[in-house]
Amino acid sequence: MEQKPNLVYILTVLWIIIGILFLGSFIAYITDYFDNFSHMSIIRFYFASYLILFLFIVLSAFILAYGTFLKKSWSWITGVMLSSFLGYFAYSGIQLIWSLISMGNIDQLFANLYIGFHYTTYLLMIFFVPAILFILTRPVVKAYFGKT
């Protein structure tokens, strides 16, 4: 029996953490939607599109954690694609930091982390996305998935 590399366990945990973070963002958007319900159709479309997107990411992250742990061959390329897609949220986190620093409101950064769970998710994606891409491209992980 082949021993799993430690990076596979780390990758599985990262996928689970990402799933939990986006599940929290999903719940935050639902509560925000019902607290600030508007009859404007563009606002409803905005919330609906983000809810569908976050639900897709939650399901994909948990499926990828399952596939990574059980050495499914599809999980490597799907992980690369999803982490590349999550780069958008890392970019949003960088934009958030840049806008608050350029306005001189660095104390607002911590207020935003407290107010919006999705801001925390965006900022954590700055670290998680490169970590996942780094782990997925390691030779031992690629060999584990048969991508040598």
- Summarize pLDDT for 79-116 with one digit per residue, the tens: 999 999 999 999 988 888 887 777 776 666 666 555 67
Q: Is 89 helix (H, G, I), strand (E, B) or coil?
A: helix
For the chain, residues with pLDDT lower than 50 are 1
CA dihedral (69, 5, 128, 22) in degrees, to 10, reads 10
Q: Is 56 helix (H, G, I), strand (E, B) or coil?
A: helix
Q: Where are the alpha helices (DSSP H) in the chain?
A: 6-35, 41-69, 74-85, 87-102, 106-115, 117-136, 139-144
Rounded CA-CA distance 131/126 in Å is 9
pLDDT at residue 78 in the model = 92
In contact, 25 and 54? CB cutoff 8 Å: yes
Asked if residues 83 and 136 have their Cβ atoms less than 8 Å apart, the reply is: yes
This model's pTM is above 0.75 = yes
Q: What is the per-residue pLDDT for 109?
A: 62
Map tokens 């596939």 to a residue.
Answer: 67
